[in-house]
Amino acid sequence: MARVQKKIRQERLREKLSSTPFLTDEELATYLGVSVQTIRLDRLELGIPELRERTKLMAEEAQNKLKTIASADVVGELIDLELGKSGISLMTVTSDMVYEKTKVARGHYIFAQANSLALAIIDAPIAVTGVANIKYKIAVHESEKLVAKAEIIKKRGNKYFIWVKTRNDSQEVFRAKFIMVSLESDLHKE
């Protein structure tokens, strides 16, 4: 019986990490109702690296796909990129990103993460932000990890309609609807 449970647990572990790859071993242990050591053994047996290594591998793979902007121009760490479709970036709010008195994150950092991610997912050599409709939903504080997910909703001509939703570990903190404009035709004029 234990063998069947182990297989089921390992399958649930694999599924959970494919849908939410940034979970720690502690969070996975709580989710599956087992010890952290059991999670580590299961990951080892399944060939799944630890969180830091998973994040690093995903970031390297995503940055190699960038087309519209350089990896240095992405605010946060680009974790996943499906060019022309979607992307994910991760940003930890550091002390230099918050107001000194309140320790609340400055909005332009959160916007910059979303805006650069929206540019990154476009499959074009050059693009700019045409329109941004944004909403800050709750205050973000120092040390919070923000995961931004961008998705191209539609493309009309040289315009890309992109939604970006940013979450901390428990709720949505920011969302934006962008219209990005590809300037491919401008490249050919030079």
For strand 77-82 and strand 86-92, is the pairing parallel, antiparallel, or unpaired? antiparallel
Q: What are phi and psi of 78, to 5 degrees?
A: -70, 120
Q: One-letter amino acid identity for 71?
A: S
Q: Which of 46-55, 103-112, 128-137, 149-158 is least confident? A: 46-55
CA gyration radius, the chain: 19
In this prediction, residue 188 carries a pLDDT of: 47
**Whole-number average pLDDT of the chain:** 88
Task: Measure the CA angle with vertex 53, ends 75 and 67; round to 5°.
Answer: 40
Q: Which residues pair with 90 in a beta bridge?
A: 77, 147
State how far the Cα of 145 lies from the Cα of 68, in Å rounded to an integer.
Answer: 25
Three-class secondary structure of residue 148 per DSSP: strand
CB 51 within 8 A of CB 43: no
Per the structure block, which two tokens stand in for 111? 């916007």
**Where do runs of H (alpha helix) occur along the chain?**
2-19, 25-32, 36-46, 51-63, 107-120, 184-187
Q: How far is CA 164 from the centre of its chain?
A: 10
Q: Which of 39-53, 117-131, 175-189 is least confident? A: 175-189
End-to-end CA distance of the chain: 70
State how far the Cα of 104 lies from the Cα of 13, in Å rounded to an integer.
Answer: 35
Q: Decide if pLDDT at 160 tops 80.
A: yes
CB 51 within 8 A of CB 23: yes
Q: Decide if pLDDT at 148 tops 70.
A: yes
